[in-house]
Amino acid sequence: MADGITAPVSEIAGLSESDVIEWLKQNSDLLIRHPDLCEILLPPTAPRGGDNVVDLQRFMVQRLQGELHRVSHVGNELLDASRQNLSLTQRVHAAVLMLLEAGSFEHMIHMATQDWTDLLEVDVISLCVEGDPDRMKEIVTGGVFVLPNGTIDTLLGALPAVARDNCEAASWIYGPAASLVRSDALARLDFGPTAPAAMLALGSREADKFQPHQGTELLQFLTGVLGRSVQAWLDLPPK
């Protein structure tokens, strides 16, 4: 008995080719309902008038099969991206809700620089403020770093946020955790017109966790909420 791969149609489930043909005639939308079959069915070979005649029909069908495979692959990538974006959005919303539960300014800073790491799936988060370290000793605590004036503009230029892959992180941004960071995202923090320049830095040990082409809209939203929260706790004047 022939195996299931090479067995004649007549030996498979008692069907003959005429049975299959008749069924196909009654179900002419089969390929519409199951487009994946186009990838495995062999197209007919058009009669050739000579050795120099090219079978364009077969070429076109094979090209369509390749295009179907490509579109299917792109569709899967878009679906994965949508799922990742939805997950990130949910995590950012949870981070914002967490800030609302802060019982003090110090508690809020701890949430942003410590508790958010697990929630946002990064390894380290720093809150960086420009100024004179000697005059700003009172704000230096876990996860908070004082940077020389102009540093943030040097890092971000005119952009509100940037994402960097395969980067060499500086200890003056991440402290001892800098040796772990392989990619990061930096976003401006606005504490009001009278406050010093500031930014939030998120670092990951994954070299491609953050990439330059990634959108930063959710990160900007998150830093916007954090900036307003700092303003409220310190009673700083708004814009």
DSSP 54-99: --HHHHHHHHHHHHHHHHHHHHHHHHHHHHHHHHHHHHHHHHHHHH
Tell me: do 18 and 45 sit in the same domain: yes
Q: Is residue 54 part of a domain?
A: yes
Looking at 39, 72, 99, the residue that finishes a domain is 99
Same domain, 91 and 128: no
Task: Assess if residue 7 is contained within a domain.
Answer: no
pLDDT-based confidence at residue 46 (cuts at 50, 70, 90): low
CA gap 54, 46 in Å, rounded: 9
Structural Rg of the chain based on CA atoms: 30
- Work out the pLDDT band at 3, boundaries 50, 70, 90: very low
CATH of the domain at 229: 3.30.450.40
Residue 185 has pLDDT above 90, yes or no: yes
Do 145 and 221 belong to one domain?
A: yes
Identify the domain boundary among 99, 123, 139: 99
Q: Which of 32, 66, 99 is the last residue of a domain?
A: 99
Same domain? For 180 and 211 the reply is yes
Residue 122 — pLDDT band, cuts 50, 70, 90?
A: very high
Tell whether 137 and 229 lie within a shared domain: yes
Q: Do residues 109 and 223 share a domain?
A: yes
Does 173 reside within a domain?
yes
Distance CA 154, CA 226 (A): 22
Find, among 181, 188, 186, the residue nearest to 208 by Cα: 181
Give the whole-angstrom CA distance, residue 166 versus residue 183. 5
**What would the pLDDT profile of 140-172 be if each residue is shown by its tens digit?**
567 889 999 999 999 999 999 999 999 888 899
Based on the domain organization, do 83 and 137 belong to the same domain? no
Task: State how many domains the chain has.
Answer: 2
Mark whether 108 and 93 lie in a shared domain: no
Count of helix runs (H) and strand runs (E) in the chain: 8, 5
Residue 117 lies in a domain: yes
Give the percent of the chain with pLDDT over 70: 69
Mean pLDDT of 231-235: 89
Is 53 a residue whose pLDDT tops 90?
no
Q: Are residues 111 and 228 in the same domain?
A: yes
Q: Which domain holds residue 83?
A: 14-99
